[in-house]
Amino acid sequence: MQKLKYLVVVCFLIVACKKETPLTAQDVVDKSIEVSGGEKYLNAEIDFDFRDMHYRSVREGGKFQYERQFKDSIGDIKDVLNNDGFKRYINDELVEIADSLAVKYTASVNSVHYFALLPYGLNDAAVNKSSLGEVTIKENSYHKIKVTFNQEGGGEDYEDVFVYWIHKDTFKVDYLAYSYMEDDGVGTRFREAYNERMLNGLRFVDYNNYKSEDATMDVIGLDKAFESGSLKLLSKIELENIVVK
């Protein structure tokens, strides 16, 4: 009996001392997508307004369609991006546009939908994810995940680098940052999520959008700059009139 008790104690100590297997970047992203909507993203119809434009996202399994509608001096504009490519309609008539403009419009339509539906897009085939360890922001622990893109399938801005801070307990994306190419170099932005709401099982947030006054600041270090209060609030990213079906 004494030997049995000894074995039980030894086994308990072995289990207690056994280190928890660290989560990979893929594990963290998978959990983040799950708590933010998971499979509901696959067959969702989403409408929202952003900066005087109306956006619509429709997904049905592997098929998708992103739309943007607005008015300008020439009439009602409707941009449509789907599996077949990009099309522009003016007053309900399909118009031909230069390839260079199609690339530009594709990027701008895709960008708004990409941010609105985060973290869903982080498992796209062109996405590369790596862990930068764990950090603390405002006394909360976060998984710090770096995201880059393959040139094939990565879109016009495939050289952009993103960093996501995903809460260690909730697995929600509370902060993100990205670098992007400019004519005179590389620009960066840091976003702080707020106004979280769950609509028909999907998570949406707005963002405080910050920039660094230091043009040499690397995107990887923007969390420290945010903590030190050295970032400047540039704008607010707010989605309005969201409807999910």
Q: What is the dihedral of CA 120, 121, 125, 131, to 10 degrees?
A: -80
Amino acid at 163: V
Q: Is residue 184 pLDDT above 80, yes or no?
A: no
The pLDDT of residue 13 is: 41
Instruction: Write down the domain spans for the chain.
Output: 24-244
The topology (CATH level 3) of 24-244 is outer membrane lipoprotein receptor (LolB), chain A (2.50.20)
Q: In this structure, what token pair is assigned to residue 59?
A: 């997904």
Q: The whole model's pTM is what?
A: 0.89
Chain segment 80-97, per-residue pLDDT in tens: 999 999 999 999 999 999
Mean pLDDT of 2-27: 60
Angle at 169 between CA 168 and CA 170, to 5 degrees: 105
